Amino acid sequence: MRQVSRRHLTFGALVMGAALLVPTPEARADGPVTAEVLIIHATQGTPSVDPAIGEMPPLKYNNYKLLERKVLPLSKGQASSTGLPTGRTFQLVLGDVTPDKRYKISASISQPDGKAFLKLLEITAQPNKRFFVGGQTYQGGSLVIGVRILAQ
């Protein structure tokens, strides 16, 4: 076995230290990124989940009806939005893409006057895994918004 000299160890440590200082390229998606948005009316009643929704997390409601499904394009730093049945606007903004291909997303809903947005949530989302945003009162229940990031 070959012995490693002190000079080789020092050189190796310098190379490794320099490698840590080199900026890494910004992580990005390999293709277009879109978000599937489900607008769901959640109420109390006969337990039922619209088959087009799929699985729901345990919430205080037991009846879920899909009102609308949309696919929104996402571009870093640009808002992508859709109208809600309440007259407000739901907005998503793609932040960064992490090295392990997760997506930093900001979700907001417009104020009743439509002039400003209330930030609801910032999340680092896994591709193809749905997350939910809720709380808007609507027709005896609540609107629940399901979002799934679809990466190509």
Residue with tokens 């609107």: 143
Q: Does 132 reside within a domain?
A: yes
Give the predicted TM-score (pTM) of the model: 0.76
Q: Which of 59, 38, 32, 33 is nearest to 50 (CA)?
A: 38
- Mean pLDDT value of segment 14-24: 32
User: Taking the CB of residue 6, how many other CB atoms lie within 10 A of it?
Assistant: 7
Per-residue pLDDT at 152: 64
Q: What is the residue range of 54's domain?
A: 26-151
pLDDT digits (tens, 9 = 90+) for 86-110: 999 999 999 999 999 999 999 999 8
Q: Does 33 reside within a domain?
A: yes
CA dist 125 and 129 (Å) reads 7
Q: Does 121 reside within a domain?
A: yes
Count of structural domains, the chain? 1
- Mean pLDDT value of segment 5-22: 35
Q: Does 32 reside within a domain?
A: yes
Lowest mean pLDDT among 7-16, 28-37, 77-86, 109-118: 7-16
**pLDDT at residue 25 greater than cutoff 60:** no
105 forms bridges with which residues in the sheet?
94, 123
- Mean pLDDT value of segment 109-120: 78
Q: Does 21 reside within a domain?
A: no
Q: Which helix (H) or strand (E) holds 120?
A: strand 117-125
pLDDT digits (tens, 9 = 90+) for 30-46: 568 999 999 999 999 99
pLDDT digits (tens, 9 = 90+) for 39-91: 999 999 999 999 999 988 888 899 999 999 999 999 999 999 999 999 999 99
Contacts for 120 with CB less than 8 Å, ≥ 6 apart: 107, 108, 109, 133, 135
Q: Does 12 reside within a domain?
A: no
